[in-house]
Structure 1
Amino acid sequence: MNIFKITTIGLSLLAGFPQANYAQKKKQQQPPNIVLIVSDDHSAPFLGSYGYPEIKTPNIDKLAKEGILYRRAYTTAPQCVLSRAAIMTGRNTLDIQMTRFSAPLDKSVTAYPELLRKGGYHTGILGRNFHLDGNRRVPETVDVLEKYGLETFKNRVDYLKVTGNRDSIFQQYNEFLDQAPKGKPFFVQVGYSDPHRIFNAKNFEPNPKAISLPKHWPDTPQLRGDFAAYLGEIQRLDSDVGRVLDDLEKRGLSQNTLVVFIGDNGGALLRGKGTLYNLGINVPLIIRHPGLIKAGQTSDALVSGIDIAPTLLGVAGVAVPKEITGKSLVPSFQGGAYGGHDYIYAVRGAHGQGLPNNSADFDLGRTVFNKKYKLIYNAIWQIPYHPVDFAAQPFWLDLKQKHAEGRLDEKYNKLLFAERRAMFEIYDEEEDPDETNNLAGKPEIRETEHQLKSLLQEWMIVNRDYLPLPIDPKPIAP
């Protein structure tokens, strides 16, 4: 492919854009550069541009003002490995067999940076661990990874480096751009550790007494302190994002660079990460390109993590393989009618490398939802909720103590400390966005419940799910 000419695919994508934008694109000739910025454990409500009042995120908010913000973007899992695998491939977590946390992405599954590379892009992944080459914490696992050559990403991109240090991330980013061949478009994924626990952004924390807690959380001083520390992580992240955006401007690259900001999954918060509730899978998604995207847009279309790959390939003018099941977001860029998905699907699988001591380590669940109703299927419903990444934190220990002593409000006892969960949960997302009133089994939504279970059943069968199907077979007379 000649990267200095607009491809047929690129022209077709631009056909619906205003003539001025088309002329500008044609004059530029070189396909857009792409910078994908990934935050870690970041639930959607917690940015200024998403309407959270007590957080200061001017750089990310500016990105939203100059581009398009998607309010209803959801990851395919509430865990980083499973979610990132789907983002990287444009295929759902079940389809690519990535439901085990420490699994490497099989070399037979194509990642979209490989396709960009073949299409003429200089490609790189840097910063926070991208999580798709397996895990090297256990020596026996390392032996297997090396024996079978399962660590494949060094062969998938031109540049691959990992670091959790903020300054080192920026250094890697600069090194990548300095090495990028002149006159050749580039793609780079810049991963950050914020706002992943441990929370240590002390200089960025807001006043715990002045912040608003989610309405379905108990209000305790310890919880306020922990949540303020989480918000501090996001404010520190914003300053790092600002460094990248400023550098693009200084290099003269901002006008022809598509910048995407996305969270890999929800935050390690109450009923967040590790759960299929909104705080676990609803993440921020913002995209900016001055020539391709109408500024100041907000979209309420249902968007999935699998949509990133076809979107980036489409912008680059690279053909989208039939195996990719995501939907390109390009039709939404100029403010036209864009419906997104009718239904979103997500899964919960094993987490971390530990043995199945509780539902933080091992839980199996599925969800399907539209804008109105959401079904959650807890396949191992007998196991109570156990938080991911904060079971030893003072605020959680305080809540446990209050529960044990009968000093916690009953509604929080039911939400957080029920001995068993319901096998099925159904929520009215319009009337109950905090997902606290389970409607499963109610006569008034019997048809809706059956419809959602039928959709989930179909999806599980088509994707060769290993869980029992959600529709209980009717007894057969002898």
Structure 2
Amino acid sequence: MPTSRPNILWISTHDINPHLGCYTGIWPGAEQASTPRLDALAADGLLFEQAFAAAPVCGPSRSAIITGCFPPAIGTMHMRTRATPPPEVRLLPEYFRAAGYWTGNTAFTDFQVDVPEPMYDELGDHTHWRLRDDPEQPFFMAFHSLITHESQIYLSDEEFAARTPDAQRVQKADVPPYHPDTEVYRTSWRRYLELISQMDHWVGTILDQLEEDGLADNTIVVFWSDHGLGMPRGKRWATELGFREPLIVRWPERIAPGSTYAEPVALMDLAPTMLAMCGLDVPGHMHGEVILGPDGRVQGRSEYVVSARDRMGEAEDTSRSIRDRRFRYTRHLHPDRSPMGHTEYPDNLWTWKELRRLFAQEAQQQLAFGEPPSILTDLQRSIVAASKRAPEELYDVRNDPHEEHNLAGLPGYADVQERLDSALDTWLAEVGDLGTRPERDLLARWRPDGRRPRAAEPEVDNRDGLVALTGTTDGSTIGWTTDPPTADRRRWQLYTAPFTPSAPIWVKTWRLGHEPSADVPIAAPAR
């Protein structure tokens, strides 16, 4: 068994539910996907049967994953925003870099905050663990793919074929009951599954490289997606389809091959879990919980996972949702608003257009001809309803995986609803919920004069060449570099302790939600 600190390899994708072959029998329709590489990864590691995003859209969800914090509690819940989290909040790579890890991330950093430059040794599409100067240095490397992003479903036939050269083609995809069985949706579902197949091939290339480099045995591999599929009732909806995700972890000789875990977990748990698995301290402010320890064994966590839906572009809405092993309870703070309010970007996608077209056709059927609506089912119609929805929803997801039957208000489920309602209130009271406050009030607090404040320059104590740096802005991160401000590219090091530079350096302070400070030059010590 390896004794050195393990490497961390994150492989993430966009906009999918657990439509992977390894989730057959766990998630409806999973058997339609051709995912041999991810199936093999699950067979070699641990498959979480019920993992949930903190939000049904990328920025807020990824902010939770990278900070370990609930988005409405730290201000990152609205899509899009540039939040100012509380000063204790840090991005996960900072903890690993401070602990001596090499940190790398491909270009995608959609975390709802600007990323301080000392977070990563390498950042960009070129990034790979092979860029480390010291091959023995442990790494935290994150690969993010846009292969399955919703935008890819809607390409022209020629573009789609060019983007999916390695995909297993799907002749016919089953359309679930919440979508109308039209050619638009049949094509969309077929393409969605083929994009997953292409993404699986991409995952395999990364895992092959890990094997080629002899690193697989001492690397924790984590595969996850950020939220649900990019069609109506998935991405942007406070539903099981919006929140439910695949999550697979492999750690040879620590995690037994073929393991499964059926209790609910949160993707927000990944940040504290990665630190714990590597023997690093877990900050007390994180809302996520440790689900795997340094021995690779599953830790007991609380029985609930809480998720949230807030503003999506120009569509302002607020929903809070809680899940236990069997039930999902959701509370809509604005039940008078349409669940499919106008949002410019997705309203131009053909699945959105098709649902609105059919809804409008039904309106003509009813209003112009006096006929009862019959084009959509009640379930499909509820997705696009022009206004008014149930203020509370309760579903027995175990027996009703498509959330077709709302049990809220039924006497036989009153105790379940009361229990989940109370647990949701308790959670929100403990962590806080800025999503119930007007966004302009938050912006006024974060930017009192209409602009982001600037982090103060670090204080420098330079005694006989030993440089000690102190940040005076609460929550600040300090970096230093030997690259002058005129350099085309500057490589920043994370400051962790006093040191003696061998050349002139420049130091700088960052704070999430602030403009970085100006550079402070420090001369090299006299020889």
In which range does the TM-score fall when normalised by the shorter chain?
Answer: 0.7 to 0.9
Tell me the TM-score normalized by structure 1: 0.79
Q: Is the CA contact (8 Å cut-off) linking 2:264 and 2:323 kept in structure 1?
A: no
Deviation (angstroms), 1:114: 0.9
2:327 corresponding residue in structure 1: 373
1:428-478 CA distance string (max 9 Å, x none): 122212112111122222232222222222222223324569xxxxxxxxx
1:79-105 CA distance string (max 9 Å, x none): 111111111111211222211223345
2:457 corresponding residue in structure 1: none
2:122 corresponds to 1:159: yes
Distance 2:139 2:130 in 1: 8
2:49 corresponds to 1:71: yes
Deviation (angstroms), 1:334: 5.8
1:397-437 CA distance string (max 9 Å, x none): 33333333334133245332323211111111222121121
2:59 corresponds to 1:91: no
Distance 2:412 2:229 in 1: 33
Deviation (angstroms), 1:333: 7.2
Q: In the alignment, which of 102, 111, 124 is matched to residue 132 of structure 1? A: 111
Cα 1:332–1:252 change in 2 (3 A) is: closer
Whose helix proportion is higher, 1 or 2? 1
Q: Is the CA contact (8 Å cut-off) linking 1:205 and 1:229 kept in structure 2?
A: no
- 1:280 alignment partner, SS class: helix
- 1:265 alignment partner, SS class: coil
Distance 1:458 1:111 in 2: 26
Distance 2:81 2:360 in 1: 38
1:411 corresponding residue in structure 2: 378
Deviation (angstroms), 1:206: 5.8
Cα 1:111–1:262 change in 2 (3 A) is: same
Tell me the TM-score normalized by structure 2: 0.72
Distance 1:420 1:155 in 2: 48
1:264 corresponding residue in structure 2: 226
Deviation (angstroms), 1:50: 1.2
1:190-230 CA distance string (max 9 Å, x none): 11112112224424566665222224332222101011111
Deviation (angstroms), 1:339: 4.5
Cα 1:458–1:185 change in 2 (3 A) is: same
Instruction: Name structure 2 gaps, 5 residues minimum.
Output: 25-29, 363-373, 438-527
2:139 corresponding residue in structure 1: 186
Distance 1:402 1:95 in 2: 39
Cα 1:240–1:428 change in 2 (3 A) is: same
Distance 2:22 2:133 in 1: 32
Cα 1:395–1:324 change in 2 (3 A) is: closer
- The letter of the residue matching 2:150 is R
Cα 1:392–1:75 change in 2 (3 A) is: same
Distance 1:39 1:465 in 2: 28
Q: Is the CA contact (8 Å cut-off) linking 1:218 and 1:412 kept in structure 2?
A: no
- The letter of the residue matching 2:326 is K
Q: In the alignment, which of 20, 30, 55 is matched to residue 47 of structure 1? A: 20
Distance 1:394 1:345 in 2: 31
2:510 corresponding residue in structure 1: none
Structure whose alpha-carbon radius of gyration is higher? 2
Cα 1:38–1:309 change in 2 (3 A) is: same
Q: Is the CA contact (8 Å cut-off) linking 2:337 and 2:389 kept in structure 1?
A: yes
Matches within 5 A, 1:69-468: 69-104=47-82, 106=84, 108=87, 109-127=89-107, 129-132=108-111, 134=113, 151-161=114-124, 169=125, 171-173=126-128, 176-199=129-152, 200=155, 201-202=160-161, 203=164, 209-331=171-293, 339-352=300-313, 356=314, 361-386=315-340, 390-406=346-362, 407-418=374-385, 419-466=387-434
Cα 1:410–1:182 change in 2 (3 A) is: closer
- 1:438 alignment partner, SS class: coil
Distance 1:452 1:101 in 2: 26
Cα 1:132–1:466 change in 2 (3 A) is: closer
Q: Is the CA contact (8 Å cut-off) linking 1:103 and 1:132 kept in structure 2?
A: no
- 2:348 alignment partner, SS class: coil
Distance 2:379 2:168 in 1: 25
Distance 2:170 2:39 in 1: 22
Aligned pair count?
407
Matches within 5 A, 1:3-82: 24=1, 28-44=2-18, 46-51=19-24, 52-82=30-60
2:489 corresponding residue in structure 1: none
Higher RCO (C-alpha under 8 Å, 6+ residues apart): 1
Cα 1:394–1:104 change in 2 (3 A) is: closer
- The letter of the residue matching 1:50 is Y
Distance 2:336 2:380 in 1: 16
Q: Is the CA contact (8 Å cut-off) linking 1:256 and 1:290 kept in structure 2?
A: yes
- 1:261 alignment partner, SS class: strand
Distance 1:180 1:277 in 2: 45
Deviation (angstroms), 1:247: 0.6
- The letter of the residue matching 2:304 is Y
Deviation (angstroms), 1:321: 1.2
